[in-house]
Structure formats: C-alpha cells, structure tokens
Chains A and B, each alone.
Chain A
Amino acid sequence: MYLNSVTLTGFLGADAERRTAKNETAYVILNVATKTSWKDRETGDWSSRTDWHRCIVFGRLADTAATLTKGTHVQIQGQLRNREYQKDDARQRTTEIRVTALSKLDRATRRGTQPDDAQADSPHVT
C-alpha cells in the first residue's frame, strides 16, 4: 500500500563524514550530487543543474560507506525522510535519504579494485 523509494546514481561531493548520534550510534553522511541537463528550446543551448542530496547511512552499511571518498561514483537506494531541527532559534525542515543499499560503481580508469596490498598502497588511491 505504501512505497517510499529513492534511487540515486551520482558522485560524492565530499569524503564520507562519520558522525555519532546522541544515543551513541555511529552513522555516516554522504553528499551525493546528481546532474540533469536539458536543451533550451529557444536558444538551443544546453543548460544543467546539480542537486545535492544528503544521505544518511546506519548500521553495518556505515562501515563500508565511511571508506568512500570525494568523487566516488555511487548508486544509492533509500527512503525519503523529513526531519526538523533548530537553527538560530528558528525551526527548519530538511529532507534526507535513509540509505538501504549502497554500491560503488567502478570506473575503468580507477585502480585498486583488487584487494592486493601493493595496489592499495598506490598513491593514486589516496
């Protein structure tokens, strides 16, 4: 009867951020960028816009998520959640994505996909 599902494929705009909630649960925040482009009907020029999504990862998935770095190409599945918080005495609302599945999309140019130590020490990985 209900479904609340988000699928995002995009790039991380920053390294994964580790946080700890009030009840001492560890979680990770991922900032995912998606971009759409379209062609202007009148001018024929291409324009684009980028949307930034704040994704929250809990549980075992958070360990994997914590290793992700800026620029990583990821696919995320999750649920939309609204939250209220206080900022400068004002009540703010924000929408976040609770991640339920996460996969790192390999890029052909990227090295270090094998768990070999020699590869992992490569300066390109940092």
Chain B
Amino acid sequence: MAPSRSTSLESLRQRAGSSQLTFHIKNRVTLIGFLGKDAEERFTKNEATYIVLSIATKASWKKDNEWHSRTEWHRAIIWPGRLAEFARTLTKGSHLQIEGELRSREYQKDGATCRVWEIRAYSILKLDRAERQTDDEPVPDPEDVPF
C-alpha cells in the first residue's frame, strides 16, 4: 500500500467529514425538519460527549378533498467533535438541515434484542426562519415526541 495515497485519502475523509469514499457505494440521508426537543448530551465509554437530536419531518397529501399528514421522527447522532460542540446548543423548535449516514444497531432491553436506526450526522445547517417575522405561515408545533 502506498502510504502517500492512504494519507491523502485520510485527509480527504476528514475534510468530507465522512468515511464514504468508496465510489460504488453511497449511504446518504438528508433531512430538513424541526427539533422536537433540546439537544441531548450523552457520554461514550471514554466519557466523550456525543449528541442525540430528535428531528421531525412531515409529509402532507390531499385525499378525498381532505388534507392528511404524517410526521416521522428521526434520531440523529453527532459523534464527539466540533460538530457535537455546535449541536449541543440547538434547542427545541430549531429548523435544521441534516446530512448523514443511515445506520442500524442492536441493543438489549428487558432481555430482548431491539434494533434501532440512527442517522450519523456529518453536517448540520441551521435554517433561518425569515417567515417568522410576517407570521403568515404558522410554524407547526413539534409537540408529540415519542422518544
């Protein structure tokens, strides 16, 4: 293995904030939605802080002249680092764009194995809410958080 090549790969990865440099494989999730509650701090085994965000996206459609909607809750994980430093300041109701990688893992709960899907975020954008000044468009209230 040529060391120079792997070094440049490594630095590219760090710049991209992602471990995905394989060309024939991609795993990318993009979400735009609202935070259902303040950012939660958690600790790894090494006592580094990681952040858990709970993000709501909503889909609406019209059927038989009536509007229906469905809210989806997503769990995003921000691993220790500069992004986590930023993410910890986010509060309930923030409008965000998040990019990350979809991952699943298993854990034990009451003797049963449960599987949970998470988004390992590598980019977070805080979206401005200019419409708030006009009050024309009601901002949906992210009340019912399942977690």
Report which A residues bind B (CB closer than 8 A). Answer: 1-10, 34-39, 51-53, 73, 75, 79-82, 90, 92-95, 105
A4, B6: Cβ atoms closer than 8 Å: no
Of the candidates A7, A37, A79, the one whose C-beta lies within 8 Å of that of B59 is: A79
Name the distance in Å between A19's Cβ and chain B's nearest Cβ.
20
A80, B24: Cβ atoms closer than 8 Å: no
B26, A81: Cβ atoms closer than 8 Å: no
Report which B residues bind A (CB closer than 8 A). Answer: 6, 9-10, 13, 19-20, 22, 24-33, 57-59, 72-74, 95, 97, 101-104, 112, 114-117
Q: Which A residues lie within 8 Å of B6 (CB)?
A: 39
Q: Name the CB-closest residue of B to A53.
A: B102
In angstroms, Cα B13 to Cα A5, docked, is 23
In angstroms, Cα B20 to Cα A10, docked, is 12
Name the distance in Å between B114's Cβ and chain A's nearest Cβ.
7
In angstroms, Cα B13 to Cα A38, docked, is 9
B19, A5: Cβ atoms closer than 8 Å: no
Known interface pairs A2-B58, A52-B104, A95-B117; A10-B25 also in contact (CB < 8 Å): yes
In angstroms, Cα B104 to Cα A73, docked, is 21
Q: Name the CB-closest residue of B to A34.
A: B27
Q: Name the CB-closest residue of A to B109.
A: A90
Known interface pairs A38-B13, A82-B72; A2-B57 also in contact (CB < 8 Å): yes
Q: Which B residues lie within 8 Å of A4 (CB)?
A: 31-33, 57, 59, 72, 74
Of the candidates A3, A79, A92, A95, the one whose C-beta lies within 8 Å of that of B97 is: A3
* Given A2-B59, A79-B59, A90-B112, 10 other A-B residues pairs in contact with their CB atoms under 8 A: A4-B57, A5-B31, A6-B102, A8-B27, A34-B27, A38-B19, A53-B102, A79-B72, A80-B31, A95-B104
